């Protein structure tokens, strides 16, 4: 059987959890961090008094509003911070997905059958396998959300193409994705499907130069786009906008090294400062997803080093329901956001958090019972 790229050097196989760059608990804790940021951000940024984020486009006005909120803090300061930074859970998920793909498909003496053929021959089988995984996760939340949306105020007016594109996970490619992807967070499914495509066709077992080249090209193109333009918006809705953390996850899985606790502390501090300072400029904002991934990796390492098992246990539990929480939180947001918009900001948020976590547990159990397609 022919590998994706015969000249790619085989890495030494990791034999036990102690030898892994990231243990299972550390990966789950990172998922917990990522989903906490995402589902809190997705609630807070729907509140009018709260500053808005620069997720798909870079607006200097949003930076100015955030800095003003920091300099002149009010009771909504935690909501400002969550709204402005919480969406960076997405790069962490991209990093973990890439890391997992390498560990699954590259770190073994025998190639899995799904990638044993040449890329263009096995692409269809690979994509269908991962599409089915994403679909099983998405469909439960999408069905429940659309039914709720129809019977609540401000329901979305779906077009036939919107529904087909959502189920087919190609809605990111259509014009004006902000207007047609509903619920909004489900844009991530199309992004992930594109990343699987890129991995299988261009990256799997190929030289590091291919990965770095893709990262550099995608970042360079982004820097050439007008920061507030619709072109930037559509660019970042697709894999090009996520190639930096996705590529970093691939490189970390292949070439990462275990570091001393002192080095990890230094990297954590530097990455946090880089996130804070980088978020204020267009160039820095483009690179922030990389620093977010470094911060997340070093944070879970510090939790392990300092034996903060209570914190790790909480994050691991949340990470274990992260997929279910991702698909169900638009439902609870639609229910409780009117309460916060009436002025009871933290009451609505608290009810949203409690019900989202409970519903995520239920959804996880439900998704386990969905038969394989």
The answer to whether the bond into 305 is cis (omega within 30° of 0) is: no
- What's the distance, CA 101 to chain centroid? 15
Instruction: State how far the Cα of 15 lies from the Cα of 22, in Å rounded to an integer.
Output: 13
Domain extents for the chain? 21-368
pLDDT of residue 73: 97
Instruction: State how far the Cα of 112 lies from the Cα of 373, in Å rounded to an integer.
Output: 20
* Segments of the chain with pLDDT less than 70: 1-19, 108-121, 373
Instruction: State how far the Cα of 96 lies from the Cα of 41, in Å rounded to an integer.
Output: 20
Instruction: State how far the Cα of 334 lies from the Cα of 359, in Å rounded to an integer.
Output: 14
The answer to whether the CB of 39 falls within 8 A of the CB of 329 is: yes
The answer to whether the CB of 15 falls within 8 A of the CB of 302 is: no
pLDDT of residue 122: 80
pLDDT of residue 337: 97
pLDDT of residue 368: 85
- pLDDT tens for 241-264 read 999 999 999 999 999 999 999 999
Instruction: State how far the Cα of 181 lies from the Cα of 184, in Å rounded to an integer.
Output: 5
């Amino acid at each position: 059987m022919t590998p994706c790229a015969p000249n790619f050097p085989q890495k030494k196989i990791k034999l036990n959890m102690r030898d892994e760059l990231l243990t299972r608990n550390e990966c789950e804790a990172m998922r917990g961090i990522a989903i906490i940021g995402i589902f809190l951000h997705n609630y807070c940024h729907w509140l009018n008094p709260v500053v808005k984020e620069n997720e798909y486009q870079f607006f200097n006005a949003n930076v100015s509003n955030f800095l003003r909120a920091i300099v002149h803090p009010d009771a909504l300061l935690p909501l400002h911070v969550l709204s402005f930074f919480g969406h960076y859970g997405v790069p962490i998920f991209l990093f973990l997905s890439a890391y997992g793909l390498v560990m699954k498909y590259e770190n073994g003496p025998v190639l899995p059958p799904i990638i044993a053929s040449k890329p263009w021959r096995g692409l269809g089988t690979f994509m269908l396998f991962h599409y089915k995984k994403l679909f099983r996760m998405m469909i439960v939340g999408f069905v429940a959300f659309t039914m709720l949306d129809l019977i609540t105020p401000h329901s979305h007016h779906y077009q036939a193409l919107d529904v087909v594109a959502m189920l087919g996970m190609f809605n990111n490619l259509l014009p004006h994705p902000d207007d047609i992807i509903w619920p909004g967070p489900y844009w991530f499914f199309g992004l992930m499907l594109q990343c699987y495509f890129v991995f299988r066709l261009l990256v799997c077992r190929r030289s590091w130069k291919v990965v770095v080249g893709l990262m550099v090209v995608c970042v360079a193109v982004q820097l050439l786009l007008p920061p507030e333009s619709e072109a930037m918006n559509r660019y970042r809705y697709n894999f090009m906008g996520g190639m930096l953390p996705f590529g970093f996850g691939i490189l970390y899985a292949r070439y990462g090294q275990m570091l001393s606790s002192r080095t990890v502390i230094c990297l954590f501090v530097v990455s946090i400062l880089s996130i804070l300072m980088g978020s204020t400029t267009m160039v820095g904002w483009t690179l922030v997803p990389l620093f977010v991934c470094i911060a997340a990796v070093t944070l879970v390492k510090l939790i392990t080093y300092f034996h903060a098992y209570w914190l790790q246990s909480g994050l691991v539990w949340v990470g274990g329901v992260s997929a279910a929480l991702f698909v169900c939180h638009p439902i609870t947001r639609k229910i409780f956001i009117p309460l916060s918009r009436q002025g009871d900001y933290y009451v609505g948020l608290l009810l949203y958090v409690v019900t989202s976590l409970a519903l995520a547990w239920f959804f996880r159990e439900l998704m386990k019972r969905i038969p394989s397609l």
